[in-house]
Amino acid sequence: MAGAWPQPSVSEIAESSGKPFNVLVSTILSLRTKDAVTLAASRRLFGKADRPETMVKIPLAQMEKLIYPVAFYKMKSRTIVAICRQLLDAYDGRVPASMEALMKFKGVGRKTANLTLVLGFGIPAMCVDTHVHRISNRLGYIQTKTADKSEMALRSVLPKRHWMTYNDLLVAFGQNICKPVSPHCSLCPIHECPRLGVGRSR
């Protein structure tokens, strides 16, 4: 079923660009933002600049216009510029391939760092967003209250060979079938799902 669904926006950017930098920036744009908006904003921004050294030259007001209407577009513009400067100052303009280094950047949390490792470098990491957290608990696979706790729980129970595909699969599944409110249980291929926390379904 997943093959018929659109790719998550950051995965599409990763596939089309092959650049860790593009993955990092588009992941930041994606936070609290719908996929279609993220994809369009990413394409506009990367059409103007797709390297730290060119992106820092974009005036802040212009960057805000390029990425609008992503959520918190003004704050994200400042964050992206700060990251670009830090990349140039400390990493010769190259995105570092380690969780520890990525977490030192302003605005980069565990989800962003993990997704950058997976899609930007092909390094196995457990990226947990709202879909992964919700669905993994809804299935009864784990029992956690937060995304960070879900990441640690999944690291302990999910075989590492599945880490790189788990996020993409569950994000697409969550966007198309296992929605937050009134999921399409009648279309779901997981027939033994306990539907934990599901009050209303279709």
DSSP string, 47-76: HH--SHHHHTTS-HHHHHHHHTTSTTHHHH
Residue 3, pLDDT score: 87
CATH architecture of the domain formed by 2-121: Orthogonal Bundle (1.10)
Write out pLDDT tens, residues 120-146: 999 999 999 999 999 999 999 999 999
Q: Residues 42, 9: contact at Cβ < 8 Å?
A: yes
Residue ranges of domains in the chain? 2-121, 130-187
Q: Give which of 20, 39, 201 is closest to 121, Cα–Cα.
A: 20
Q: Tell me the pLDDT tens digit for each residue of 75-130.
A: 999 999 999 999 999 999 999 999 999 999 989 999 999 999 999 999 999 999 99
- Dihedral over alpha carbons 102, 108, 110, 111 (to 10 degrees): -120
